[in-house]
Amino acid sequence: MMFSSRIADVITNRLNLGPLDQLFQQIIISFLLLNGFAGLDWIINRRLSLSSSNALPKRPTSSQEWLRGVALGWGMTLVTILPIVVAGSFHPLFWFSPRSWGLAVVALFTIALLALNLELAFRGYIFVHLIAAIGPEAASILLSLLYALLSSLRPNSTSVSIAVTFLFGLLFSAAYLRTHALWLGCGVHFAWYATMALLLGLPVAGYTTLGTPISATVSGPLWLSGGAYGPEGAALSVMVVIPAVFILYRMTRGYAWDYTHEPIVPMGYAVTIAPPAAHTAIEAEAAAKLDALVQIGAAPSMISGTPVTDDRTRSKE
């Protein structure tokens, strides 16, 4: 992830794209991650597929999974920000100009690609193969720790923000384990970032460089607001992420049944058991009785369809 980001920084700095710099940076990172992991999969398994190699399978419920993730992430954001609003610590400023709305559209696509890239890097190809090597529990804890440690490099990070990021890593890991795909995790990630940055104007994981029509400041204690790092640095967020894991587990029952259970394969040897002798004798006796029955048929005239004419009527005529 850091190597891809460095390459993207070099390219975008050379192009000098201005407001589109972050968007193109995320596009380049997506390209490098998708093709890089697909290339590794081809080298190891001789299978070339961007979707299957990156845990983005094409299936009928893909968009539904993403939308459910968006709903969960949006709900988590509202629960996190509600106590801040009730305490009177939320102070928004609005910038309604054509340029700000244009930047908001750019920021929306940037956040969507950022969410995708984070999921690809930490819950995609590497996570799938780590699960096969050390099991799902150990893989989830290991990559969540790495995810949290790397978050310490972000601006204004704190020990609380690192702990909250670790819990978020477990949440996103559970999203993959319950669906064997990244669609749900991408939806949660996107909704959390987009709501915080675009709708509330708050810092997202320490960053405030996304252009949005709203810019907000938050006062009050750090355990409630998270300070300059944003709500991800608030101790209150711990009380939001932990219940979200159980909610996610329940809302993915159908996906877990359809996509994570191994199919039942018949095993062993084919065995043909002869029926009991008494059962065979009963069947033979019943067949003999059926052969002895006499079937009474209809009169030939009725079969042929010709009406029967009475001889007495014919003689009178």
- Lowest-pLDDT choice from 89-98, 122-131, 242-251: 89-98
261 class by beta-carbon count within 10 Å (0-12 exposed, 13-18 middle, 19+ buried) = exposed
Split at pLDDT 50, 70, 90, the class of 317 is very low
- Lowest-pLDDT choice from 45-54, 107-116, 142-151, 295-304: 295-304
Segments making up each domain of the chain, as ranges: 62-259
- Lowest-pLDDT choice from 100-109, 160-169, 237-246: 100-109
Contact 200, 151 (CB under 8 A): no
- At residue 2, the pLDDT reads 56
Contact 156, 227 (CB under 8 A): yes
Contact 213, 200 (CB under 8 A): no
Q: Which helix (H) or strand (E) holds 215?
A: strand 214-218
Share of the chain above pLDDT 90, in %: 41
Contact 245, 174 (CB under 8 A): yes
Q: What is the mean pLDDT of the chain?
A: 83
243-300 pLDDT, tens digit each: 999 999 999 999 988 898 776 666 666 667 777 777 777 887 877 776 665 555 555 5
Mean pLDDT in residue range 58-86: 93
Using the predicted structure, report yes or no on whether residue 87 has a pLDDT greater than 90. Answer: no
Using the predicted structure, report yes or no on whether residue 125 has a pLDDT greater than 80. Answer: yes
Using the predicted structure, report yes or no on whether residue 305 has a pLDDT greater than 60. Answer: no
**Residue 4 CA: distances (Å) to CA of 36, 55, 182:** 10, 19, 20
Q: Which helix (H) or strand (E) holds 165?
A: helix 159-179
- At residue 312, the pLDDT reads 47
- Lowest-pLDDT choice from 62-76, 183-197, 285-299: 285-299
32-43 pLDDT, tens digit each: 899 999 888 888
Nearest to 209 by CA among 85, 25, 83: 25
Tokens describing residue 118: 């984070």
Count CB atoms within 10 A of the CB of residue 157.
20
| 155 SS3 class | coil
Is the CA virtual torsion 231, 232, 237, 240 positive or negative? positive
24 Cβ contact list (under 8 Å, min separation 6): 8, 11, 12, 15, 17
Count CB atoms within 10 A of the CB of residue 229.
25
| 43 SS3 class | helix
> What are the backbone angles phi and psi of residue 204, rounded to the nearest 5°?
-115, 105
Q: Which helix (H) or strand (E) holds 225?
A: helix 222-225
